[in-house]
Amino acid sequence: MTAPPGRRERKKAATRQKIADTALRLFLERGYDAVGIRDVAAEADVAVTTVFSHFASKEALVFEQDENFEQRLTRAVTDRAREEPLIPALRREIQALVRHCTADSAAPIWRMIDESPALRKYEESMRLRHAESLATAIAADPDLAQTTTACRTIARFAIDGYSLAREAADPETALDEIFRMIEAAWAAARRPEDVAGTARP
């Protein structure tokens, strides 16, 4: 994995990157809808089929960082300090992600996304995928011992928080407000009979 990658893998990664870079540049220059896959392929000097061997769809060209995002979320849960409670750890990571998305340099990209129904739809179902991964990571933590329903619910709430804060006029205070609600929801998820202790007969 960390061993020096062979020439083949480097070339593949380079091709992938070149396609992604070219696509994003064209999309920003001429608008997402005005650029066809055939345009991207021609400009990146590859065949149309090569584009689709690296990316599952035209929309995926824009969300190249997809898996990165997903890993950061799950790791925020699995790699947190032993004593750190779930919600603050989640909150920290999501705040970082929101800051990343609302940075000035990312503004043109997000404007493009907001203007294209296809891209919005793609991002929405991407978020749901991330919420499922997050739910799995939460459910796997033995310290929490929650029902799968509670885990899935809190995962969705967290992703909702990311999405809503990103869109808010003041992302920071919005995230504050939302995570106060999430914290309360998480506290309520512990069933009454379990509040006194974690052990069960």
Partner DNA sequence: TTTTGAAAAGCTAACCGTTAGTGGTACGTT
Partner DNA sequence: AACGTACCACTAACGGTTAGCTTTTCAAAA
Residues 6 or more apart in contact with residue 78 via CB below 8 angstroms: 137, 140, 141
Q: Cβ 120 to DNA, closest distance in Å?
A: 15
**For 120-167, what is the HEC assignment?**
HHHHHHHHHHHHHHHHHHHHCCCCCCCCHHHHHHHHHHHHHHHHHHHH
2 near DNA, rule: CB under 7 A: no
Whose structure tokens read 């690296």? Answer: 54
Buried b (16+ CB within 10 A) or exposed e, 157-189: bbbebbbebbebeebeebbeebbeebbeebeeb
45 near DNA, rule: CB under 7 A: yes
Q: Are residues 20 and 13 in contact, defined by beta-carbon separation less than 8 angstroms?
A: no
Q: Are residues 127 and 73 in contact, defined by beta-carbon separation less than 8 angstroms?
A: no
**Choice from 20, 22, 26, 58 touching DNA (CB under 7 A):** 58
**Choice from 24, 59, 157, 186 touching DNA (CB under 7 A):** 59
Q: Cβ 57 to DNA, closest distance in Å?
A: 3
52 near DNA, rule: CB under 7 A: yes
Q: Which is nearer to DNA, 27 or 162 (CB)?
A: 27
123 near DNA, rule: CB under 7 A: no
Provide the 10 A C-beta neighbour count for residue 97: 17
57 near DNA, rule: CB under 7 A: yes
Residues counted in the chain = 201
66 near DNA, rule: CB under 7 A: no
The stretch near DNA (CB under 7 A) out of 45-53, 73-81, 95-103, 124-132 is 45-53
Q: Cβ 9 to a copy of itself, closest distance in Å?
A: 29
Q: Which is nearer to a copy of itself, 11 or 180 (CB)?
A: 180
| Residue 174 interacts with which of DNA, a copy of itself, none, CB < 5 to 8 Å by class | a copy of itself
- Residues of this chain that interact with DNA (CB under 7 A) are 6-9, 11-12, 15, 35-38, 45-50, 52-54, 56-59
